[in-house]
């Protein structure tokens, strides 16, 4: 049996079964970040994301954008948990024939974004590697009552998103601004029941919320905000690496959230009981069942 | 200019110049771990280490040992700072055609060692990659007065080591037990001025202590503990990935440390003023100057 037979998530589930953690761990593997006990008022968030040449970017991609992306995806994970990013370490796998000015360009993208988000780059590791690899591990902090996980959605919640979806591969996946300000605005002013950043696709990541919250959902095709790059709503529903936030809140909270002037949040559906599954109401007002599939690495 | 022209450490120095950190960071890039403010009595330690197929292990290496090594090297970093490892996240770059049972063997090595050292594996990331890559990021904790850095060595200090050196490439680099117990025994019972784990070679890593402490040193060839696998003292002085601890303490403290029955620590030299440089006294009682070079990735 090869990885592609069980997929990335099948593999993760196999690993998760073998993991035992102690009482310092509030939430281990299976969310955007691990959640660790820190002090009376706050938790620490801990996450890592690896990007690899030929998979997450190409040999011809501007290395400033590659460095930027490497950091941005971890910021997005911390944001999705309601936290604030603080510190990062960076492991680099570098091809031996790489030019120093190329690596410095990569560093520039990474350091510039770190400065913009007040993140301390506190260490790293450099190895030789046939392809360029960057793995960023990040620490953040979240007030206990602001922590958002995938598991808090409840039937009746309204499903909302930041931004627009579709065609991220055409550039947004390298240039997106992590939705930290939006996430902070949400957790500081409202009660958010579940939140995730959309890296595996809208349907795929909504699927993570549904699975971990043991609920179902209905999405309205006509409500999916489409980016200019979107090929259509079907593509927008599956497009990976959009790095928008997907979250749920009670109907009461949602009605206040959509009135926000500072940031625009859009309703795309509603959380339903688990038995409902996941359904899409299309433009013709007809139901169809959706499969919970997003981007697959294998 | 390519990486190999300035080397791994030249590259790191270039990066370090561009890094600014805030007051939460006690010690950033440049030691075994980053040191972060945690609470009144303790600091948090944060480190990452990446290992890559074809560089740190081979396609034919038992994957249980590969998984074990990936975690062990980060434990060694935490130990060298006087700390206790707590949590880790694991980023995996996996070849698409890898068998699930192979990955599970890798996981077994990693999880077994995690259990042995009471480390919580709290998350990770899986990517496709042409070669197998494992990057472990680890958090630890150290009492403030027990923190050991590379920068604390003083002229007159005695230089000591755990274990024996030489030929780690023949097996020890995959099978070593991180010297956490020894490190804890040292910091709990003595005043250790500087400590590092030997990954770049005894001379190379002593060089890091000398540079950061602004001191020199003399080593006695006849005192270097040689492993059975050592080709000779010259090889033992440069052999990378030994993962023994190298530390310095005052003459008074050292005289107590060498009397330890529980663990054996050996004197190999003495810290000298910076102007002395680094010299080796060979078997014929003659001085020679040593270049501060250890293992080079590029």
This model of the complex carries an ipTM of 0.94
Q: Chain B residues with CB inside 8 Å of A6's CB? A: 100
| DSSP letter assigned to residue B227 | P
Give the closest of A20, A39, A122 to B25, CB-based. Answer: A122
Q: Which domains does chain A have, with CATH numbers?
A: 3-145 (3.30.1330.10), 149-289 (3.90.650.10)
Residues in B touching A56 (Cβ below 8 Å):
127
d(CA B71, CA A76): 26
Provide, as residue numbers in chain B, all residues whose Cβ is less than 8 Å from the Cβ of A4: 96
Furthest C-alpha separation in chain B: 58
Give the model's pLDDT for residue B20. 83
In this structure, what DSSP letter does residue B85 have? Answer: E
pLDDT at A8 (0 to 100): 80
Task: Give how far B96 is from chain A: nearest CA, Å.
Answer: 6
Distance to chain A for B142, nearest Cα, Å: 14
List the single residue in B with minimal CA-CA distance to A132.
B129
Residues 6+ apart with CB under 8 A from B109: B63, B64, B65, B66, B67, B68, B69, B71
The shortest CB-CB distance from B100 to any of A3, A51, A97 is to: A3
Q: Looking at chain B, which residue has its C-alpha nearest residue A108? A: B18
Q: What is the pLDDT of residue B295?
A: 54
Q: SS3 of B281, please?
A: strand
Reference A85, options A113, A63, A108; nearest CA is: A113
CB A247 within 8 A of CB A160: yes
- Angle formed by the axes of helices A100-116 and B3-18, nearest 10°: 20
H or E stretch at B49: strand B42-52
Residues in chain A within 8 Å Cβ distance of B98 = 2-3
- A1 Cα to chain B: minimum distance (Å): 6
Identity of the residue in A28, A33, A126 whose CB atom sits nearest the CB atom of B120: A28
Closest by CA to A198, choosing from A147, A150, A256, A257, is: A150
Given this model, what pLDDT does residue B297 score? 62
Query: Are A126 and B47 in contact (CB < 8 Å)?
Result: no
Distance CA B218, CA B238 (A): 15
**Which residues in A lie closer than 8 A to residue B94 (C-beta atoms)?**
3, 298
A55 φ, ψ to 5°? -115, -55
Backbone torsions φ then ψ of B238, nearest 5 degrees: -110, -10
**First-to-last C-alpha distance (Å) of chain B:** 13
Per-residue confidence (pLDDT) for residue B14, from 0 to 100: 85
C-alpha radius of gyration, chain B, whole number? 19
* The pLDDT value given to residue A298: 66
Tell me the torsion sign for CA atoms B264, B269, B272, B275.
negative
From the list B47, B87, B126, the residue facing A8 with the nearest CB is B126
Q: Calculate what percentage of chain B has a pLDDT beyond 70.
A: 98
CB-closest option in A48, A125, A130 to B89: A48
Q: What is the distance of C-alpha A160 from the center of its chain?
A: 14
Provide the pLDDT for residue B4.
80
What is the tally of helices (H) and strands (E) in chain B?
A: 8, 13
Lay out the sheet containing A287-289: strands in order across: A194-197, A245-249, A158-162, A265-273, A215-220, A278-281, A287-289
Helix (H) or strand (E) holding B127: strand B120-128
Q: Do B111 and A49 touch (CB under 8 A)?
A: no
Token output for A294: 């997003």
Residues of B in contact with A52 (CB under 8 A): 93, 127-129, 133
| Inter-residue contact B134 to B90 (CB < 8 Å) | yes
Q: What is the mean pLDDT of residues B267-285?
A: 95
Output Rg (C-alpha) for chain A, integer angstroms. Answer: 19
Percent of chain B surpassing pLDDT 90: 86
Q: Work out the mean pLDDT of chain B and round it to a whole number.
A: 94
Give the residue from chain A lying closest to B119, CA to CA.
Answer: A21
Which one of A84, A122, A134, A241 would you mutate to disrupt binding with B, by most B Cβ within 10 Å of its Cβ? A122
Q: Given an 8 Å threshold on Cβ–Cβ distance, is B34 in contact with A89?
A: yes
Exposure string for B138-160, b = 16+ CB within 10 A, e = fewer: bbbbbeeebbbbbbbbebebbbb
Chain-chain contact of A133 with B133 (C-beta, under 8 angstroms): yes
> At residue A16, what are phi and psi to the nearest 5 degrees?
-55, -35
Question: Where do we find the tokens 């927008």?
Answer: A236
Nearest-by-Cβ selection for A24 from B11, B22, B86: B86
Nearest to B1 among A31, A46, A99 (CB): A99
The verdict on a CB contact (< 8 Å) between B2 and A97 is yes
Positive or negative CA dihedral for A167, A173, A175, A180?
A: positive
3-state class (DSSP) for residue B23: coil
Q: pLDDT tens digits, chain A, 298 residues: what are they?
A: 888 888 888 888 888 888 889 999 999 988 999 999 999 999 999 999 999 999 899 999 999 999 999 999 999 999 999 999 999 999 999 998 899 999 999 999 999 999 999 999 999 999 999 999 999 999 999 999 999 999 999 999 999 999 999 999 999 999 999 999 999 999 999 999 999 999 999 999 999 999 999 999 999 999 999 999 999 999 999 999 999 999 999 999 999 999 999 999 999 999 999 999 999 999 888 988 887 655 556 6
Tokens representing B296? Answer: 């080079």
The secondary structure of chain A as a DSSP string is -BHHHHHHHHHHHHHHHH----TTEEE-SSSSSEEEE-SSSEEEEEEEEEEEBTTTB-TTS-HHHHHHHHHHHHHHHHHHTT-EEEEEEEEEEE-TT-BHHHHHHHHHHHHHHHHHTT-EEEEEEEEE-SS-EEEEEEEEEEEGGG---GGG--TTPEEEEES-BS-GGGTHHHHPPP-HHHHHHHHHHS---EEEE-SS-HHHHHHHHHHHHTEEEEEEGGGSPBPTT-S-HHHHHH------EEEEE-HHHHHHHTT-SSS-EEEEEEEEEGGG-EEEE-TTS-EEE---------
Q: Looking at residue A297, what is its pLDDT?
A: 62
Give contacts of A200 with chain B, Cβ < 8 Å. none
- The model's pTM: 0.95
Closest chain B residue to A32 measured between Cα atoms?
A: B123
Q: Residue B248: which residues within 8 A CB-CB, separation 6 or more?
A: B152, B153, B154, B157, B158, B159, B160, B192, B193, B194, B195, B209, B271
- How near does any CA of chain B get to the CA of A264, in Å? 31
CA distance B205 to B213: 12
User: How far is Cα B56 from Cα B48, in angstroms, rounded to an integer?
Assistant: 15
């Amino acid at each position: 049996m090869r990885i592609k037979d069980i997929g990335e998530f099948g593999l993760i589930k196999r690993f998760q079964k073998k993991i035992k953690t102690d009482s310092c761990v509030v939430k281990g593997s299976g969310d955007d970040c691990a959640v660790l006990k820190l002090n009376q008022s706050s938790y620490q968030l801990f996450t890592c994301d690896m990007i690899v040449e030929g998979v997450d970017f190409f040999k011809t991609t501007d290395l400033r954008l590659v460095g930027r992306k490497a950091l941005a995806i971890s910021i997005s994970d911390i944001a999705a948990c309601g936290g604030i990013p603080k510190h990062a370490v960076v492991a680099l796998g570098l091809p031996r024939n790489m030019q120093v000015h190329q690596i410095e360009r990569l560093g520039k993208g990474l350091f510039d974004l770190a400065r913009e988000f007040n993140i301390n780059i506190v260490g790293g590791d450099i190895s030789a590697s046939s392809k360029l690899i960057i793995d960023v591990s990040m620490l953040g902090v979240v007030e206990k009552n602001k922590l958002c996980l995938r598991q808090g959605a409840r039937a009746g919640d309204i499903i909302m998103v930041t931004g627009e979806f579709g065609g991220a591969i055409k550039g947004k996946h390298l240039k997106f601004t992590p939705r930290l300000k939006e996430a902070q605005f949400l957790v500081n002013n409202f009660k958010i029941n579940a939140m995730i950043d959309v890296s595996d696709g809208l349907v795929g990541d909504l699927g993570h919320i549904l699975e971990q919250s043991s609920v179902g959902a209905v999405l309205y095709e006509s409500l999916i905000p489409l980016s200019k790059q979107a090929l259509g709503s079907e593509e927008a529903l599956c497009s990976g690496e959009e790095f928008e936030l997907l979250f749920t809140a009670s109907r009461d909270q949602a009605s206040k959230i959509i009135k926000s002037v500072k940031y625009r949040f859009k309703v795309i559906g509603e959380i339903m009981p688990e038995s409902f599954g996941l359904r899409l109401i299309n433009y013709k007002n007809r139901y169809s069942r959706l499969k919970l599939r997003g981007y697959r690495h294998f």
